[in-house]
Chains A and B, each alone.
Chain A
């Protein structure tokens, strides 16, 4: 049974909360403590929540096409707050325009996200990632 605290929410001026809710339910069912910030969450609020709750991972959703702008500097915010080692995942509708998935994934990786979920990624896949990444961290 996995354990640990995960912060999640929908970043920026984005109101698409449904996918994030489904993910939250799956995470809770799997045994994680989930701090769910909901829609319209500024980047800084993810970081503040993670500091207070000593979260191991932040899972960011973005579905409205502006994710790249909203997520810029996210890793720096974490580092600034003393969360150098926190896991960062991002997922949703991240591909904008004619860019390929590979290119998009590379962009977010370069921003410091550990995992970048392509559209259609199932919650089981996210749970698997977490299991892998967190076991590595605790060792």
Chain B
């Protein structure tokens, strides 16, 4: 059998997916605890045992590929010049590389900024600033400041090309990698080279620094951070391959314990006559809502949505919401047991998904000019997205994933939000999107077919239930 083992060294669990490449079939899933803090092998062994228990004797794997979000994920600090320009481009590059952004800085770094950065102890710093041939002073000031700091992590330089040589001298004492400018021309986004450089540093250094390579006997390579694997999976199912159609434009939402990730693969261009404002948007875009999580950030979700709204949605009393939130924040491993707890949990997920997708999507507003009203757009127009995919444990375990995903759809009460209007609703029930994101690096065709086959159409599922075919 031609099989692959796909591993996710997560922050809470070590997850495994074993797939039969030739048959495009999921052999089985396994899960163990995350043990990066002690010895990553312990969780890996437990996960393998679990997999074997469910799937029987395991085949010899041709590929054993891993992603990781363990040990705090890929913690990054980004630095740019103007907040809405190169600093934003640097943020986009880091998010697209699957990083967890722990700090974003703009303009000249001050001593207190440097202290903050050192205290954040990032895994990688991404330094940008100035268009090519544009401002050099600030990026050089910042390179010198980083060069003279106590910071020991790798630094990726993606700023003004004209300043790169001098920046190299400033950073001589550090591990520094030089790549193309994230904004070579004004308002031109060029984040793929920086993304690739970040991934290279991740594979070559961070995997070791996090102690994941202690399990090196159990896998061939850690290919990318887990969020990047999900993003690659999304790109694959959206675009397809030469000769194999994908789903078209796609939006993926992944509500988690601490954050809610949203990925879109769609151009998001404004409709004819609508004027775009702000930085051009990356076609493959990831946003992370750091305040929207089902456990660690449950209180923030309730605050963002309003506790009365959550209570009404869950069908419980508002006072009860308060008690439940306190419970959750204190106990991240909480599993809802009573009917009220379950209803509250689902209401939280619906709220997190609705708000996260609302923030990911662009919006329009009308500007009144002497020649009549004009519509301007910020962000991506995702009304025409063809498929909306839910992934992650919260959605996979939900008794009504459809109700959660529906919150990501356009709402007549918010006509200015450019959210998906009528996409197909799909559920990644087996959590295979990340696995296929990994597998596509070696077997793209199999990865695509496997991913597409395991996306469950929720509309269909509902129709089947109604007619008794489920």
Contacts and interface: CB of A to CB of B under 8 A. Distances in A.
B277 A40 contact: yes
Interface stretch (B77-85, B398-406, B452-460): B77-85
Contacts of B376: 40
B329 interface: no
A13 B368 CA distance: 7
A52 B370 contact: no
B73 to A, nearest CB: 30
Contacts of B369: 13-15, 40, 64
A49 B134 CA distance: 10
Given A39-B275, A40-B376, A64-B370, A52 B130 contact: yes
Given A40-B376, A64-B370, A65-B370, A48 B131 contact: no
A40 B367 contact: yes
Interface residues of A, number: 19
Contact of B84 (A33, A38, A48): A48
Nearest to A34: B186
Given A14-B369, A40-B374, A64-B371, A54 B135 contact: yes
A97 to B, nearest CB: 15
A53 interface: yes
Interface centre among B86, B134, B367 (most CB of A within 10 A): B134
Contacts of A35: 186-187
Contact of B85 (A13, A48, A65): A48
A117 interface: no
Interface centre among B81, B129, B183, B370 (most CB of A within 10 A): B370
A33 B374 contact: no
Interface size of B as a range: 20 to 34
Main secondary structure of the interface of B (DSSP, over half): loop
Interface string A12-24: 0111100000000
B436 interface: no
Given A39-B275, A40-B275, A53-B186, A5 B82 contact: no
A52 B183 contact: yes
A102 to B, nearest CB: 25
A52 B82 contact: yes
B133 interface: yes
Contacts of B66: none
A65 B134 CA distance: 33
A139 B429 CA distance: 68
Given A15-B374, A48-B85, A5 B133 contact: yes
A64 B369 CA distance: 9
30 contacts: A5-B133, A5-B134, A13-B374, A14-B369, A15-B369, A15-B371, A15-B374, A16-B371, A35-B187, A38-B275, A40-B275, A40-B374, A40-B376, A48-B85, A49-B85, A51-B82, A52-B82, A52-B85, A52-B130, A52-B131, A52-B135, A52-B186, A53-B130, A53-B131, A53-B133, A53-B135, A54-B130, A54-B133, A54-B135, A64-B369
Interface of B: 81-82, 84-86, 129-131, 133-136, 183, 186-187, 275, 277, 367-371, 374, 376
